[in-house]
Amino acid sequence: MTSDRLAAYLDQMHAAALQARAFADGMTLEQFVADTRTQMAVGMALVLIGESATRIMAGYPDFPNEHPEIPWVKMKGMRNFVVHDYYELELPVVLTTVQTSIPDLLFHLESLRNLHSQGE
């Protein structure tokens, strides 16, 4: 696989993370629990993040090892859980993930972009 494909997966992951954050921005748990549309949108964004992580892990196995600050296995696991056990999702965990883990993921992805744009 080419580095262009890797960059595309990272860009897709970044875009989905931005969307997940935007979907739930400013929501309280009570608002999130009451809003099925936002739950589904956030769930799909988490699936897209996990799918990109899965493809990176499969196609570029050294890359995740070089960047352990990104929770590759957890993202893949969240994707699998959302896809296969959607009705078992714990909505407080989903919202906490979006509010705390997604900003960290975005920080790390943006750092990666900066490193690679500088040729490192």
pTM above 0.95, yes or no: no
- The number of domains in the chain is 1
Mean pLDDT of 40-65: 97
Amino acid at 101: S
Mean pLDDT of 68-88: 93
CA distances 80 to 14, 15, 50, 53, 58, Å, are: 19, 19, 8, 11, 15
Q: What pLDDT does residue 119 have?
A: 53
Asked if residue 47 lies in contact with residue 81, where contact means CB atoms within 8 angstroms, the answer is no
Domain membership of residue 76 as a residue range: 3-117
Asked if residue 38 lies in contact with residue 76, where contact means CB atoms within 8 angstroms, the answer is no
Query: CA 57, CA 28: separation in Å to the nearest integer?
Result: 34
Percent of the chain with pLDDT over 70: 93
Dump pLDDT digits (tens) for 82-117.
999 888 889 999 999 999 999 999 999 999 887 765
